[in-house]
Amino acid sequence: MSDPDHRRKARPTMDLDLLIGRLEVTADKPDSKEPGLGSPVSPLMGQIPEGSASSSTTSSSGSSVTGKSTLSVKKPSDSGDSLKKPTDSGDSESVCTKRQVTGNILCSPDSRRNPVKAAATGLVVGQIPATGNVLPSGNIVPSGKVQPSSGKLQNLRGSRSDVLGSGTGNYGHGSVVRGGRAGGGGETMAGASGHINNVEEVKRKGNEEYRKGNMERALVHYERAIAMAPENAACHGNRAAALAGLGRVWEAVRECEEALRIDPTYLRVHQRLASLHLRLGQVENAWKHLCLAGNPPDSNELRRIQTVERHVNQCADARKVGDWKSALREGDAAIAAGAESCPQLFACRAEALLMLHRPEEADAALSSVQNFELSSTSLSLTKFFGMNGNSYLFFVRSQVDMTLGRFDQAVSAIERASQIDPRSSEIAAMANRARNVVRVRAKGNDLFNMGKFIEACVAYGEGLECDPSNPLLYCNRAACRAKLGQWERAIEDCNQALRFRPKYTKAILRRATYNGELEKWAEAVRDYEILRKELPGDSSVAEALFHAQVALKKSRGEDVHNMKFGGEVEAVSGREQFRAAISLPDLNRISGVSVVHFKASSNYQCEQISPFVDALCERYPFVNFLKVDINESPAVANAENVRIVPTFKIYKNGCRVKEMICPTEQVLEYSVRHYSL
């Protein structure tokens, strides 16, 4: 073997056959010229160190790759049983005897600079074709691991960007990579490594935001990770967790299902799906995924599912027998136990409230269902109270709309329910009822507008036969009977309407009016007072109440000559006048409330708010509005301890109940309305 100094000498120019001992390949050579030493790929006629085992299989990183190509070496006649070492070789350390060589060439850090030396070290990968122009068929990679040409690179850590064999030449069937791409096929080592590292970094950032509770930011990172690695189950699982934290439960379910498509054995996702299905009230699905999440199941989740299941079953039993109070109680208990995102339970709550004659509350309960996603395959296959999951929601929606007089919406909702679940007899009956009510109600309205009040009464009666609890039909028939002078029967219909809808203001107003026609002033005043609370800004209601109260006082023989309705803000200049104005409620206003505005004519804020006080005086005619100029009436200001203007004080039957210094218009009106009711 040459000494180090000799190895550093300039390499003499010679034929490659002289360096390797005139190796002969058993197959014909397709090319007339073999690649020279300057070629980026060795012709694989390299020398193997002496003493290495001859085998048809070579191992790399614990993996075996078998090849079938054979390299035949012919010994020179003057060398006996062994080849002589070339004396002029600066790179070769030994020569080969006849042996079999198999495997893939592994690219060491020096192999790119000296491919002949790489072959001489025995790092052989891939199958060697039995041809003269011997080229690699596998991937020459820098990790020292065997990588088939058809496989994907996994978790490679390369960082260099230079490429062995990059260019236009065909160096083999696979890719010779160092950090870019070349030849025929696989991913680049550095590109794949950087890609994987980027995905993990994006996931890490998302996890940090998730731990901080920043679900929106975490979701952005997880979605970026999915875009980079769409077949990564962990990325989909993380996105599902963020969506669940944002309350987007059905989206989280779909994301978990996608993660399980990629990895059906992902136990953590099964556990998450069990929790999500519980939130949706789908107990059977929750049981299924909880059992798949681990053995034995988590005890806390097990208890939650059992609790929700018990309340849901009891709610269904109560609904079946018409025990709506129990149905409402059990449904609320199931929601509190963990099914807080179940739209069917909220719909059941609305149905129970409707049957308990609380339609406005039922409508509010259904408004929360609008925030839930309804169109889902798994939901549509789930039965609730014997109906399809989605169809039950539209079934309840139709009932509420019918009670509140939204007939067109009611028909539309029940038709959608029929399309989803055409086999439900309960939905079919509701659909027929809704269509009949809409038809006869339109007929009755037409007859009423034509002045045919008797026929209109009959038409509304037909509608009540289809829907005996519809308050709008009762109220319309009351109007017909009032036109016929049938006051008592009209009041009866109003009572029936209010039985099913106690806050039906139109029925209350009509009943107050009909009681006035019968001079039942106490009943009329009671209804008008209810309306004044429901419609505090309605001047017509306030005026009707005033006249009813005046008539009631007259019927009792009381003095009413000083009673007045509405008017202007009254100016007060003396202490006696001020005390009388706030202490005698019946003298001026029936409500007994006085609002005093302490002002100064030279104050800008007082001038700004004075027009608004005049508007309040017209808006609340039962309130006694007064004004005191502290410069013109200092005695009143001193007696009431007023130092800053504008100051407002509210008195109830002579006693001060509220004081405000420089209030906003919103605060002032709220206080006036609050104390006048």
Instruction: Encode pLDDT of 252-295 as tens digits.
Output: 999 999 999 999 989 889 989 999 999 998 888 888 888 886 66
Q: How far is CA 278 from CA 338, 541, 658, in A?
A: 7, 50, 50
pLDDT digits (tens, 9 = 90+) for 114-157: 443 444 344 333 343 444 444 444 444 444 444 444 443 333 33
In which band, very low, low, confident or very high, does the pLDDT at 584 lie, cut at 50, 70 and 90? low
Collapsed DSSP state (helix, strand, coil) of residue 176: strand
φ, ψ for residue 656, nearest 5 deg: -75, 130
Half-sphere exposure of 305 (CA within 13 A, CB side): 23
Place of tokens 């107050």: 512
Residue 373 confidence (pLDDT): 56
Q: How far is CA 482 from CA 471, 515, 518, 543, in A?
A: 17, 11, 12, 22
Residue 419 confidence (pLDDT): 92
In which band, very low, low, confident or very high, does the pLDDT at 601 lie, cut at 50, 70 and 90? confident
Phi-psi region of 134 (alpha: psi -120 to 50; beta: other; left: phi over 0): beta
In which band, very low, low, confident or very high, does the pLDDT at 652 lie, cut at 50, 70 and 90? confident
Q: Residues of the chain with pLDDT > 90: what percent? A: 46
pLDDT at 348 over 70: yes
- Per-residue pLDDT, averaged over 402-411, amounts to 94
In which band, very low, low, confident or very high, does the pLDDT at 159 lie, cut at 50, 70 and 90? very low
pLDDT digits (tens, 9 = 90+) for 200-240: 899 899 999 999 999 999 999 999 999 999 999 999 999 99
pTM: 0.61
Indicate the range of 344-353, 557-566, 622-631, 652-661 predicted with least confidence: 557-566
φ, ψ for residue 501, nearest 5 deg: -145, 85
Pairing of strands 387-388, 63-66: unpaired
Residue 289 confidence (pLDDT): 87
DSSP string, 101-151: --SB----TTTTT-HHHHHHTT--BSPPPSSSS----S-B-TTSS---TTS
pLDDT digits (tens, 9 = 90+) for 451-498: 999 999 999 999 999 999 999 999 999 999 999 999 999 999 999 999
Residue 67 confidence (pLDDT): 39
Residue 119 confidence (pLDDT): 41
Name residue 402's amino acid. Answer: M
Half-sphere exposure of 93 (CA within 13 A, CB side): 12
Strand partners, 59: 64
